[in-house]
């Protein structure tokens, strides 16, 4: 049985398949075709952090595919009410698919060992693969057939979103630059490992924004303080202050460069309103693509294509 906890687990070909299914089912939906591929199926959403996009897009895509979704918050007692060896096999024996959003990636890995149905990571502290699929679907739509030649630059805190974006770019052979100050970069061994594993040197990391953004077709950022890091917020604001995506940064990117953000955003911190609220911003298309990208992932993972 396959799970999608990290994009490490998928081959380049599988990632391309998911993106193709997403595109095909997005067109079907736009033409009013809603095939009931999940008729009689139940998708559970086990979440221990807040969510708008991930929760609503998974619930909606399940409905569009003729299935039923169950939102499972803190009251089901994951990790508190009974041992995992009881909780997880019982929960997953009812379900056809489980989406998990958790504070700790290790906690998800531990739970998955007891799972009786496929599990999709709906965000952990280190990984957000669903976001990366939607990001690449958006890049594909905007850049068209030559999207693999795009240059994507991420500016800010190298976090869970950056991690999955770097993995998907590396696997698809897309150039990605990360601009982050020291202390907010990935271990250099992670970047080396990506480039070695995928036989390319497309993923780069630097503290120099101008160098990273030069010629970029997409400039991406995320909050400086992720969920769970609130106690560090003051320090993070100080340390990352020079890494705001504003007009000056966008003007150093390629002509026609688009702005991306996984959302939620904090205007005036990681991004200025002059960018996120301008016509260079593709955030609504990107957020809407969460639904289409995850639909492709669900159809692929459950073998319904
Ligand atoms: N981008 C994202 O995952 O949004 P939510 O936290 O609202 O699900
Ligand atoms: N890095 C952010 C992403 C939210 C979708 C967080 O983990 O809070």
Ligand 2 geometric centre to CA of 52 (Å): 11
Contact in structure between 200 and 173 (CB atoms under 8 Å): yes
Check if 128 is active-site. yes
- Residue 200 pLDDT > 90, yes or no? no
Structure confidence at residue 275 as a pLDDT band (50, 70, 90): very high
Q: Which of 226, 232, 167 is nearest to 197 (CA)?
A: 167
Check if 222 is active-site. yes
The domain locations on the chain are: 7-128+290-304, 130-286
Q: Which fold has domain 7-128+290-304?
A: Rossmann fold (3.40.50)
Determine the Cα–Cα distance for residues 294 and 120; give it in Å rounded to an integer: 10
Q: What is the DSSP letter of 281?
A: B
* Predicted pLDDT at 141: 98
Q: Which of 41, 33, 39 is nearest to 66 (CA)?
A: 39
- Residue located via tokens 């998911």: 18
- Residue 216 pLDDT > 90, yes or no? yes
pLDDT, averaged across the chain = 97
Contact in structure between 165 and 194 (CB atoms under 8 Å): no
And the tokens for 290? Answer: 């969460």
Ligand 1 geometric centre to CA of 190 (Å): 25
* Predicted pLDDT at 90: 98
- Residue 198 pLDDT > 90, yes or no? no
**pLDDT tens digit sequence for 113-146:** 999 999 999 999 999 999 999 999 999 999 999 9
* Predicted pLDDT at 153: 98
Check if 131 is active-site. yes
**pLDDT tens digit sequence for 8-33:** 999 999 999 999 999 999 999 999 99
* Predicted pLDDT at 245: 98
pTM of the model: 0.98
Per cent of the chain over pLDDT 90 is 98
Per CATH, 7-128+290-304 and 130-286 having the same topology is answered yes
Work out the average pLDDT over 252-256: 98
Whose CA is closest to atom 6 on ligand 2?
Answer: 226
* Predicted pLDDT at 199: 86
Of all ligands present, the nearest one to the C-alpha of 283 is 1
Determine the Cα–Cα distance for residues 58 and 43; give it in Å rounded to an integer: 8
Pocket test for ligand 2, best of 54, 226, 231 (most atoms within 8 A of CB): 226
Contact in structure between 187 and 165 (CB atoms under 8 Å): no
Q: Which fold has domain 130-286?
A: Rossmann fold (3.40.50)
Buried b or exposed e, range 215-229, using 16+ CB within 10 angstroms = ebbbbbbbbbbbeee
Determine the Cα–Cα distance for residues 32 and 143; give it in Å rounded to an integer: 25
């Amino acid at each position: 049985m396959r799970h999608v906890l990290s994009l490490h687990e998928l081959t380049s070909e599988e990632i391309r398949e998911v993106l193709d299914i997403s595109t095909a089912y997005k067109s079907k939906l736009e033409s009013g075709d809603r095939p009931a591929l999940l008729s009689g199926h139940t998708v559970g959403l086990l979440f221990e952090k807040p969510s708008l996009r991930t929760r609503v897009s998974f619930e909606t895509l399940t409905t569009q595919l003729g299935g039923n979704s169950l939102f499972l918050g803190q009251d089901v007692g994951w990790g508190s009410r009974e041992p995992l060896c009881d909780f997880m096999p019982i929960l997953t024996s009812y379900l056809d698919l489980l989406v998990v959003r958790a504070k700790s990636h290790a906690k998800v890995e531990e739970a998955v060992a007891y799972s009786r149905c496929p599990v999709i990571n709906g965000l952990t502290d280190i990984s957000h693969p669903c976001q990366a699929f939607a990001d690449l679907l958006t890049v594909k739509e905007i850049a068209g057939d030559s999207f693999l030649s795009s240059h994507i630059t991420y500016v800010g805190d190298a976090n869970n979103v950056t991690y999955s974006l770097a993995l998907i770019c590396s696997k698809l052979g897309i150039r990605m630059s990360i601009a982050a100050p020291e202390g907010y970069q990935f271990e250099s061994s992670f970047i080396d490992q990506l480039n070695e594993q995928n036989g390319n040197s497309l993923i780069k990391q630097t503290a120099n924004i101008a160098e990273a953004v030069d010629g970029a077709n997409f400039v991406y950022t995320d909050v400086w303080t992720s969920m769970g890091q609130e106690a560090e917020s003051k320090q993070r604001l100080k340390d990352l202050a020079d890494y705001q995506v504003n007009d000056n940064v966008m003007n150093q990117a390629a002509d026609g460069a688009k702005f991306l953000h996984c959302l939620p955003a904090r205007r005036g911190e990681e991004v200025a309103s002059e960018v996120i609220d301008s016509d260079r911003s593709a955030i609504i298309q990107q957020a809407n693509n969460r639904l289409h990208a995850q639909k492709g992932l669900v159809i692929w993972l459950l073998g319904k294509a």
